[in-house]
Amino acid sequence: MKNAVLFMPYHKTYPPSLLKDEKGKKLLDVVQRFLPSINTANPSTDLEDFIECYIQLQAVSKISNDEDIYIFNHNENTFKNIHNKEIDFNEYERVVFTGVYPKYRLLPDSNKLISSNKEVLLAEKYYNLETFKKYAGRNILIGSFDRDNDHYDDIMKSLNDGNYLIKTCATKYMPLIPFSITDRKLFVDKDMMDSLLLASVHMEGSKDGVIIQDDIKMYYEYRLIVVDNEIVSGAACIEEFTPFDRISDDVYDPQLRKIRGNNDIINNKDSAEVIEKYKNVCPQIVSEFKNEIPDMKNYIMDVFIDEFGDVGIVELNPFRNFGLYANDYNKVAKKLLKDWKWVYWKKKLLQEKMVASIKALQVMKIQF
Residue 289 CB partners (closer than 8 Å, separation 6+): 129, 131, 229, 296
- The rounded Cα 99 to chain-centroid distance in angstroms is 10
Whether 130 is covered by a domain: the verdict is no
Give the end of a domain, one of 214, 232, 254.
214
Could you say which of 214, 235, 258 is where a domain stops?
A: 214
Q: Where are the beta strands (DSSP E) in 20-115?
A: 69-73, 78-80, 94-99, 113-114
Position 48 in a domain: yes
Domain annotation covers residue 131? no
Predicted confidence band of residue 150 (pLDDT cuts 50, 70, 90): low
- Residues of the domain holding 309: 219-336
Distance separating alpha carbons of residues 236 and 335, to the nearest angstrom: 21
CATH number at residue 310: 3.30.470
**Residue 291 · residue 284 · CB < 8 Å:** no
Q: What is the pLDDT of residue 325?
A: 96
Mean predicted confidence (pLDDT) in 234-255: 96
pLDDT tens digits, residue range 189-244? 677 777 777 777 767 767 777 888 999 999 999 999 999 999 999 999 999 999 99
Q: Report the candidate in 283, 277, 241, 232 with the shortest Cα–Cα distance to residue 260.
A: 241
pTM for the full predicted model: 0.86
End-to-end CA distance of the chain: 45
pLDDT, average across residues 168-174: 72
How distant is the alpha carbon of residue 362 from its chain centre? 50
